[in-house]
A and B are shown apart, each in its own frame.
Chain A
Amino acid sequence: MIHNKLIIYLSVLGLFSAFGCTDLEENVLDEQLGGDLINNPANIESLINPPYGSLRRTIEWYDYWALQEVSTDEVIVPTRGTDWYDNGAWMELHRHTWTSDHVRMKNVWDALNQGVSRANTAIYYIGQFAQNATSEQYINEARFLRAYFMYLINDLFGQVPFREADDLDFSTTPMVMDRRTAADFIIEEITAVMPKLKTKAEVGSERVTVEAAHALLAKIYLNYEVYTGEAKWADAIAHCNDLINAGVFTVADDYWTMFQKDVAEHSEFIFRVPMDDTVDMGSGSVWVNFTLHYAQVFGNITSTWNGPSTTKTFFETWDMVNDVRFYDGRIKNQTGFNQGFLHGQQYGLDGTALKQRNGQPLIFVPEINLSSAPENAGIRVVKFAPNPATERQFSSPNDVPIMRISDIYLIRAEAKLRNNDASGALADINFIRSKRSAAGKTLPALTSVTLDDILKERGYELYWEGLRRQDLIRFGKFTEAYQEKPVTDASKQLFPLPTSATDVNENLKQNPGY
């Protein structure tokens, strides 16, 4: 019987000895949980990289770029039979019939807020290190980048949620800045960091510089009236003057040099997003694949999508003969097509006339029916030259300028004109036009300048560079009719806040009209 008791005792012990044999702590094997990584001053480079990385999202054609361009007269993405309907996303953007459930708006909201958050992370964690010149530079760069992403959010949505960098409790509901508060906050931030930033001469235009700060301030002051109802033309002009007079930048004598495949630094560039088709950057705009017809393949570019085109409305504003910005043929021997506008019969690299899939000749025409267009409808645009030998055909080989000096001249021209200095404006615009002529092509100088001329010039100079919506709104033309788009309500000048954002943050109030 003792035997039995012993066994009972042992098995009860066995039964419960496993108590506390594990604390069920989760042991993560394939990820670093942070602590050591993020608190190590040796990783300071790695902390400033992420907000820069987020800049690449702003040049993805289907994200931020699409909101600023497809909603305007510069870009139209027609449904072509069973291609490109895509849940109505492109038609809604073009016709201004979007709703708060539009997937592109949600994606852009998320991407830009991610930029803000990544900047915050950099500001906070670099701020925890022992400070030196580098850490101060990086914190200032991060503050600039945060302001830049907030500026984009403010421009699109008119409201900006905000957390301080040291707010790491993400369960709290962030406060929300209205459009004016946000604009002022951004100006204040940039003004505060500007004196401490490096110059382009020191770090190049791929990093945040004092010049980039001037340029961003010029842009915000230019749009300040739209944001707040109050004009600040003189401030815009002042920052343009700082940039133009600094002597760092020169307007290119050859417009198309900025858009070639292997260009990195350029005399026009104030702030650029470096891209490379040899490494995985997590993104890469497909500047040629998305617009070219299926038959327009060359080199390793074998997948083309026959998508975005430009509108007849915009196409017909051009001086097609004299403006070098309309056409450039230097890549034709590698691709079969030109840079600029692609219209009429298209040819392959070997000179054969290309055909549509149905056997008809491939002739690009400006007539487009948005909801059902044939394959050849729409004038195509190639601004950035592709790399035919690329091994990553969906990555962009081109560094993309998001601020450049020609834009600054045109901002100054516009601000001067609006500030009743027509002659100053005329001088700036004619300076740009004089640079856009070439052998055998003379773009005539203007003899007088109107706001309309400035908008047109901005279109010629900056088309497909992601600025059109902002420009149209400033000139009061966003709601007007253009090809395949009726007159729309003024409320469309702000995008709706995505449902996913208003669902979780009650401080966000949906914009009027949605």
Chain B
Amino acid sequence: MMRLSLFFFLAGTFTVLGESYSQGTRLSLNLDKVTIKQVFNEIERNSEFIIVYSDDILDVSEEVSMQVKDSPVERILDQLFASSPVGYQIKDRQIVITRKTQNEILGIIQQPVNQISGKVFDEKGDPLPGVSVAVKGTTTGTITDFNGSFKLVIPEGGEVLQFSFVGFRPQEINVGSQKVFNVKLAEDIMELEEIVAVGYGIQRKSDLTGATSRLTEENMNKAIATSPIEMMQGRVSGVNIIQNNGEPGSGMSVRIRGSNSIRSGQEPLYVIDGIPLDNADVTPTGGSAAGYGSGAEKNPISFLNAEDIESIDILKDASSTAIYGARGANGVVIITTKKGKQGRSSISYDGYTGVSQIREKLDLLSAEEFRSYAKADGSKLLDLGASVDWQDEIYSTGITQSHNLSFSGGTENFTYHASVGYLDQEGIVKSTEQEKLNGKINVTQKAFDGRLNLTGSLIASHIIDNRAPITEASGSGYEGDLILTALKTNPTYPIFNEDGSYYQHAKDQRNAVAMLNLVDDEALTDRILANISAEYEIIKNLKYKLNVGFDRTVAERRVNQDKQLTYLANKGEADINTVNANNRLIENYMTYLTKIGADHSFNFLAGHAYQFFKVSGTETNVNGFEVDDIKYTDNLQYGNFSTADVSSFAYERELQSFFGRVNYGYKDKYLFTFTGRFDGSSKFGENKKYGFFPSAAFAWRISDEEFMKGDGKLSNLKFRLGWGLTGNQEIPDKISLLAVGTTPSANGYFDGNLTPGITFLRTPNPDIQWETTVQTNIGIDFGFFDNRLYGTLDVFNKKTKDVLLEVPAKAPSATQTQWQNVPDLEIKNNGVELGMSGMLINNKTASWELGFNISYIKNEVQNLPVKLIETGNASGQGLSDTRVQVITNGEPVGTFYGMVWEGFDDDGMSVYKMDENDVAVKEPIGSALPDYTYSINSKFRYKRFDVSMFWYGSQGNEVYNNTANTLFLKGPLDKGNNVIKEVLHSDENPENSNAFSSRFIEDASFLRLSNVTLGYSFNVESIKWLESARIYVTGNNLLLFTDYSGYDPEVNVAADQNGVPSMGIDYTAYPKPRTFTFGVNLQF
């Protein structure tokens, strides 16, 4: 009945600008015998005006003719309505057609008995224009004017007035004998009409059938979030994010609904503005000198500027992700960047500066305590007389500053958003730093009467990473990386010799300060993500879209290790390593929206996508440098360039996909979604090029049923059921093909000459294919008390089959292992997720929103054809060939496995649980997977102050403290290493072995106060040029409750074995800082 455009509301909020739009706009019309409606359409098409009217005020089918030239719109409207009983009002770009008052028509004052009037306000008491006011059960209605006022004649039998407006909760009022109505509409906090991103499109949240979560600026973690992934951490139920360590820009492990695989490649698919990224690590390796490992992997989307992100949608269940087929099994994260908005230009500046410090140092022996320690035979440890706290020597306060400037705006046909960002984040380990420069431009252009919609965006980033010689588990050797060295070094060793040079005790007892200052490790990474898309509406509701994307990364890392470092194999050493990655995408798809009858609505999607990836890299290592005053990498000729170690690699892969989706809604209450995708990958075997990934989902909006109405407490209830198949195609390249080549161990050496040997390098498997995950999801969305209390509950069951594994080949065969989709093996994840939020206080002066979420996931491996798969390579002396984790039947992925420690005997030697043959029993001794994870957030506003707080935690998971297993024992102390104070008082015998056992498995449950922010928004009403201004202080990582004895229980260093990833292992991980930030947000 009533044509009420959503734009009305949007436009209505922009009344400040363009007061004179109507005066400045002139139109020419030459129309012969057309309907009034066509005149309206013509006006709307040739201007930015939006015309709002009600059918019962005006019959738009009436035919008119109109010839005007260069006329203001008022003149056209006056002419049009000269003989009609209607008037109009213009405010900015809106034209509202109103009924002429009786006065105006008849020229006399004659109040009808059943006429009422009133005014509609929002909660702040500001008048609301454009609110629809209708008499229930009749066709009578009107719209409030710009003062929020309305007048209405109540027809015969009219008893109830209905007020409704987009973004506000509808209200009904009994008419009775009242004549004047002052109505206050409450904002709809549930924002039921929220739009969310789904694969290849957007959807109203209320129409969703799958399990997805959306984060917007409101509820993302800000404040020193250098990567979008950090902004998600702890915010979404069912998504477990672990920041692997505290290095600026460090890697994150993201597991959406558990571990589905027993290989690497468990990260979700990231889609940025429609472009699926490749998760390939583009971090070049570091130096190759002994003890200098490759460093932690960086996270794949850290190049994005956190400030540029509009929203993050996390697709969790198979019915949502199956549209991404063979890449959907690990979940999909859709990131939408900010776009310009029509009618509104704005400039904003966001900046902050922060200080970071180590949260808590390990409690090592001081030089004094170290000196006073006497061994069993009474002898003392080596004392060189100095007193150094080596932790203090490597940790310092890091300063972070960030500046972001953006401007955006647009007209009806053109919008733009541009931003530049600068971030300089110093780590808490000296000389570690990440500097990031970002630029982004996004433009949209409409053409052909708005039927063609062009979008272009360009995101560019330049990142400079400065690193210290800190490495992940394997690779640091027993000599130790920077942190291990600082922890173990004798505190009586001086830093410098008397001549000013570094005191370097021995090859395996290095000087941490020398390592810091004599190693220069800088990586530069440039990335461009560009895309352009064109959408054309061919006929009404049939749209064709072409999307072309390009993602390119060039990274170069240069490492200089100074010749003064005595542990280097051959004088000074230089490394130059590069990685080059390309990702090209072309997508075509069509959508068609239609309605059959009043009750059946359909939305079809069909498309094709082709994506091409190419990654290549080089590595160069030269040693033997003796020069001073020059960075070795700047001129390799000064080194032993003729014996340089060089290597390179390159691979490319293609993906081709055909996909489709049907959304069907019956009466808007029963919603069905069916998707399917054929995915082909060049990585798949000759016999298995394409896989099919279907899904189906059903949702029932129970609260829209008649029988649920009338109960004022329940405001929303939706039931969802989904099923789908998704794939994981993150399998290694080339494994379907036989490879023949040379390897040093195959070379021949005769007569003093080395000659190449050709041998099989891989046993091919032409049947290799993706892993398949079947997932079923049941969910309920609910809202009570006008949605002031709302939440989502999901229960899911996930099962991965065709699990890809490198299994022993049937010897003798081409190689010792072969990649296979193991037939019966299953990895199960069953889980429950609950997220709830409540608006406890909500009035003009104060509001308080409290939310929490909790996830429980049970992981289990079944039908593994071998007894155990080992992973989790322990590091350190005496721990060679020690794997601490296994994958085995009936246990979850990430199970720690080893001897059970029962304490010390009288001699201070370890006692283990024994079997009847007096052999130590090995059994599961813990799990790196938590029983459940949870988070609590609170947002409180009082007048102009806001306080928010965010806690998250994990319960029931264990961590293997490899650092303690290597360092913090009596033996190392007696050898002259520093240890934590606890060791001093332990009964351990110095000759006790450090065999891995449950002794070093620690409870890693924790609760962290991740963030507290206190903000103040200034009253800027009197400052014309300022839209808003807010200042805030934030504390990050303020409190940590845990029994874990290391730096941080939230840790995950890479200790893979044969490509099987490990979890929950701590070996000298870079500690997470505590950070205080002061920031400003300004909008002009």
Considering the complex, which residues of chain A in the window 416-473 have a beta carbon less than 8 Å from any beta carbon of chain B? none
Residues of A within 8 A of B883 (CB): 87
- Is there an interface contact between B966 and A110, defined as CB atoms closer than 8 Å? no
Q: Is A97 an interface residue (CB 8 A)?
A: yes
Q: Is B58 an interface residue (CB 8 A)?
A: no
Q: How far is the CB of A207 from chain B (nearest CB, A)?
A: 7
Considering the complex, which residues of chain A in the window 39-65 have a beta carbon less than 8 Å from any beta carbon of chain B? 43, 45-50, 52-54, 56-57
- Is there an interface contact between A49 and B538, defined as CB atoms closer than 8 Å? no
Q: Which among B656, B680, B759, B881 is the interface contact of A89 at CB below 8 angstroms?
A: B881
> A87-B882, A207-B750, A358-B976 are known contacts. Are A82 and B993 too (CB-CB below 8 A)?
yes
Q: Mark B183-196, 1 if CB is under 8 A from A, else 0.
A: 00000000000000
- Is there an interface contact between B738 and A274, defined as CB atoms closer than 8 Å? no
- Is there an interface contact between B760 and A117, defined as CB atoms closer than 8 Å? yes
> A85-B879, A86-B881 are known contacts. Are A114 and B748 too (CB-CB below 8 A)?
no
Q: Is B10 an interface residue (CB 8 A)?
A: no
Q: Tell me which of B148-156, B603-611, B829-837 binds A.
A: B603-611
- Is there an interface contact between A38 and B758, defined as CB atoms closer than 8 Å? yes
Q: How many angstroms from the CA of A294 to the CA of B990 in the assembled complex?
A: 18
Q: Is A281 an interface residue (CB 8 A)?
A: yes
Residue among A82, A88, A114 with the most chain B CB within 10 A?
A82
Q: How many angstroms from the CA of A45 to the CA of B590 in the assembled complex?
A: 59
- Is there an interface contact between B741 and A87, defined as CB atoms closer than 8 Å? no
> A85-B993, A116-B812, A170-B818 are known contacts. Are A25 and B682 too (CB-CB below 8 A)?
yes
Q: How far is the CB of B869 from chain A (nearest CB, A)?
A: 10
Q: Which among A18, A32, A173, A281 is the interface contact of B608 at CB below 8 angstroms?
A: A18
Q: How far is the CB of B363 from chain A (nearest CB, A)?
A: 20
Q: How far is the CB of A227 from chain B (nearest CB, A)?
A: 20
Residues of B within 8 A of A104 (CB): 881
Least CB separation from B689: chain A residue: A24
- Is there an interface contact between A24 and B747, defined as CB atoms closer than 8 Å? no
> A53-B748, A89-B881 are known contacts. Are A11 and B590 too (CB-CB below 8 A)?
yes
- Is there an interface contact between B760 and A121, defined as CB atoms closer than 8 Å? yes
> A15-B544, A163-B813 are known contacts. Are A26 and B733 too (CB-CB below 8 A)?
yes
Q: How far is the CB of B152 from chain A (nearest CB, A)?
A: 43
Residue among A28, A89, A283 with the most chain B CB within 10 A?
A28
Q: How far is the CB of A422 from chain B (nearest CB, A)?
A: 42
Q: How far is the CB of B523 from chain A (nearest CB, A)?
A: 23
Residues of B within 8 A of A353 (CB): none
- Is there an interface contact between A34 and B739, defined as CB atoms closer than 8 Å? yes
- Is there an interface contact between A84 and B680, defined as CB atoms closer than 8 Å? no
> A8-B538, A86-B880, A357-B975 are known contacts. Are A26 and B737 too (CB-CB below 8 A)?
yes
Q: Mark B714-751, 1 if CB is under 8 A from A, else 0.
A: 00000000000000000001101111111111111111
Q: Is A31 an interface residue (CB 8 A)?
A: yes
- Is there an interface contact between B589 and A15, defined as CB atoms closer than 8 Å? yes
Q: Is A130 an interface residue (CB 8 A)?
A: no
Q: Tally A residues with Cβ within 8 Å of B.
A: 100
> A15-B589, A81-B994, A282-B745 are known contacts. Are A117 and B877 too (CB-CB below 8 A)?
no
Q: Is B539 an interface residue (CB 8 A)?
A: yes
Least CB separation from A21: chain B residue: B610
Q: Mark B759-791, 1 if CB is under 8 A from A, else 0.
A: 111010000000000000000000000000000
Q: Is A511 an interface residue (CB 8 A)?
A: no
- Is there an interface contact between B879 and A86, defined as CB atoms closer than 8 Å? yes
Q: How many angstroms from the CA of A162 to the CA of B811 in the assembled complex?
A: 8
Q: Which among B736, B749, B812 is the interface contact of A117 at CB below 8 angstroms?
A: B812
Residues of B within 8 A of A48 (CB): 748
Query: Size class of B's contact patch?
Result: 35 or more
Q: Is B984 an interface residue (CB 8 A)?
A: no
Q: How far is the CB of A292 from chain B (nearest CB, A)?
A: 14
> A46-B755, A87-B996, A117-B812 are known contacts. Are A16 and B608 too (CB-CB below 8 A)?
yes
Least CB separation from B899: chain A residue: A88
Q: Is A161 an interface residue (CB 8 A)?
A: yes
Considering the complex, which residues of chain B in the window 643-662 have a beta carbon less than 8 Å from any beta carbon of chain A? 648-654, 656, 658
> A22-B610, A26-B682, A358-B976 are known contacts. Are A87 and B880 too (CB-CB below 8 A)?
yes
Q: Is A501 an interface residue (CB 8 A)?
A: yes
Q: How many angstroms from the CA of A328 to the CA of B177 in the assembled complex?
A: 122
Q: Mark A149-164, 1 if CB is under 8 A from B, else 0.
A: 0000000000001110
Residues of A within 8 A of B651 (CB): 28-30
Q: How far is the CB of B739 from chain A (nearest CB, A)?
A: 5
Q: Tell me which of A316-324, A371-379, A404-412 binds B.
A: A371-379
Least CB separation from A28: chain B residue: B734
Least CB separation from B976: chain A residue: A357
Q: How many angstroms from the CA of A19 to the CA of B606 in the assembled complex?
A: 13
Q: How many angstroms from the CA of A275 to the CA of B737 in the assembled complex?
A: 33
Q: How many angstroms from the CA of A143 to the CA of B562 in the assembled complex?
A: 51
Residues of B within 8 A of A113 (CB): 811-813, 816
- Is there an interface contact between B744 and A501, defined as CB atoms closer than 8 Å? no
Q: How many angstroms from the CA of A282 to the CA of B746 in the assembled complex?
A: 8
Residues of A within 8 A of B971 (CB): 81-82
Residues of B within 8 A of A260 (CB): none
Q: Is A229 an interface residue (CB 8 A)?
A: no
Q: Is A79 an interface residue (CB 8 A)?
A: yes
- Is there an interface contact between A110 and B989, defined as CB atoms closer than 8 Å? no
18 contacts between A and B (CB under 8 A): A4-B539, A7-B538, A22-B610, A24-B654, A24-B680, A26-B733, A29-B651, A31-B739, A34-B738, A53-B745, A57-B745, A89-B881, A275-B749, A281-B745, A282-B744, A358-B379, A360-B379, A501-B808
Binding site for B on A (CB under 8 A): 4, 7-8, 11-12, 14-16, 18-19, 21-22, 24-34, 37-38, 43, 45-50, 52-54, 56-57, 79-89, 97, 101, 103-104, 109-110, 113-114, 116-118, 120-121, 161-163, 170-174, 204, 206-207, 264, 274-276, 279-283, 294, 302-303, 357-360, 369, 371-374, 391, 499-501, 503-505
Binding site for A on B (CB under 8 A): 375, 379, 382, 507-508, 536, 538-539, 542, 544, 546, 570, 586, 588-590, 606-608, 610, 616, 648-654, 656, 658, 680-684, 689, 733-734, 736-752, 754-761, 763, 807-816, 818, 865-868, 876-883, 909, 919, 966, 969, 971-972, 974-976, 989-996
Known pairs A18-B588, A32-B739. 12 more at Cβ < 8 A? Answer: A18-B610, A46-B755, A46-B756, A53-B745, A82-B971, A104-B881, A114-B811, A204-B750, A279-B754, A282-B744, A282-B745, A503-B808
Q: Which 10 A-B pairs have the closest CB atoms?
A: A49-B748, A282-B745, A49-B757, A282-B744, A81-B971, A34-B740, A113-B811, A372-B991, A170-B813, A50-B746
